[in-house]
Amino acid sequence: MARYLIAGAGGYVGSRLAERLLQAGHSVRGLVRNTDSDTVQRLAALGMSVWEGDLTKPESLVGVANGIERVYNLTTAPLLDLHLVQRVFVEGNRNLIAACSRSRTVSAYLFTGNVASYGDRGDTWLTEDSTVMPNHPLGHIMVEAEQAMLDLIRVHHFPAMLLRVASIYGPGRDFIDAVQANTVPLIGNGRNFLSHIHIDDLIDVLDLLAIEGQPGAVYNVADDEPTRARDFYGEIHERLGLEPPQFFSKAMALAAGMDPSVVGMASASVRLSNQRITQELGLSLRYPSFRVWLDERLHGTPSEELALSVAI
């Protein structure tokens, strides 16, 4: 049995990871802002100890990592509030690392960033050694957060790992539902590569890296098959019996008042290589391609029936 701390234990990823670790018999402390949420209450009933805290308030973190061996920082803030995003990713991460350094028991610390730091990179395969080239406000914040963390690793030999996580999907957060609800920002020329990871695979990666990951290392977390946006959404539309997707230019999206980071993220080409997690760690993914999920979700449902449910 190991002792874990999860910051953001009430979130989409955090709650699923907490459940997995509790089921495996580990001790889990969940750092949350809202102790009353149904999710947190459910995890507490499963045995999670709840720590009320806020990463941007260092005084709420005193002692949070005492006796803890492995730490996940799975917090994030709404993309449209960049000031808060900056506070959570840069200051918040630094505050949690400081609290963990003081405890002297932490042997692994994982921070889940995203792929905005890579920028818009065309057809190039992006490995962890590729240079970062942010091209929108969120990307610049991510680089600042990454750099602050990498400096702490270098100067203080803090055993942290940086994960650049692709777009997460799975039950309750599904691109099929998003297409049906017409909420997908289809921006750019459609030739850009999109990288994804299924939540079950992400949980496997988080579990494995805390034990076998290299302190100081960067890990891309994505499936085997980055796909051009027009092919990705084209296939979903076709399977749902819908007309092919229509993309809007970046200029049109910006002129319509869309947030530059949203436009930047939606239109960027990020062809993420997952060789480090699959080859170095020997991980085999349950969802190597989004098509496995498409088949699982849509299996046996005639497309006319789906088209009808979309129309309704």
Min dist CB 142 to ligand NAP, Å, is 9
Min dist CB 312 to ligand NAP, Å, is 28
Min dist CB 301 to ligand NAP, Å, is 25
Min dist CB 37 to ligand NAP, Å, is 6
User: Which residue sits closest to ligand NAP, CB atoms considered?
Assistant: 11
- CA pseudo-torsion sign 280, 162, 127, 214: negative
Nearer to ligand NAP by Cβ, of 76 and 242: the residue is 76
Contact 100, 71 (CB under 8 A): yes
Q: What is the CA radius of gyration of the chain?
A: 20
Nearer to ligand NAP by Cβ, of 68 and 74: the residue is 74
- Give the other-Cβ count within 10 Å of 240's Cβ: 18
Min dist CB 228 to ligand NAP, Å, is 19
Outline where the chain has alpha helix (H).
Answer: 12-23, 38-45, 82-86, 93-103, 137-156, 175-180, 199-212, 229-239, 250-255, 260-267, 275, 290-298, 303-311
Min dist CB 123 to ligand NAP, Å, is 22
In whole angstroms, what separates CA 152 from the centre of its chain?
22
**Residue ranges that bind ligand NAP, judged by CB under 6 A:** 7-8, 10-14, 33-34, 54-56, 74-77, 88, 92, 112, 114, 165, 167-168
How many whole angstroms separate alpha carbon 218 and alpha carbon 199?
19
**Cα–Cα distance list, 178 to 17, 182, 185, 221, 234 (Å):** 24, 6, 10, 22, 14
Min dist CB 190 to ligand NAP, Å, is 20
How many whole angstroms separate alpha carbon 219 and alpha carbon 128?
6
Q: Looking at this protein, which amino acid is placed at residue 183?
A: T
Nearer to ligand NAP by Cβ, of 86 and 242: the residue is 86
Crossing angle (nearest 10°) for helices 38-45 and 12-23: 10
Instruction: Give 20: exposed, middle or buried? Use CB within 10 Å, 0-12, 13-18, 19+.
Output: middle
Q: 50 has which bridge partners?
A: 30
The set of residues, in sequence order, having a beta carbon less than 8 Å from that of 244 and lying 6+ positions away, is 234, 237, 238
Residue located via tokens 């809007």: 248
Nearer to ligand NAP by Cβ, of 75 and 190: the residue is 75
Nearer to ligand NAP by Cβ, of 75 and 192: the residue is 75
Min dist CB 229 to ligand NAP, Å, is 15
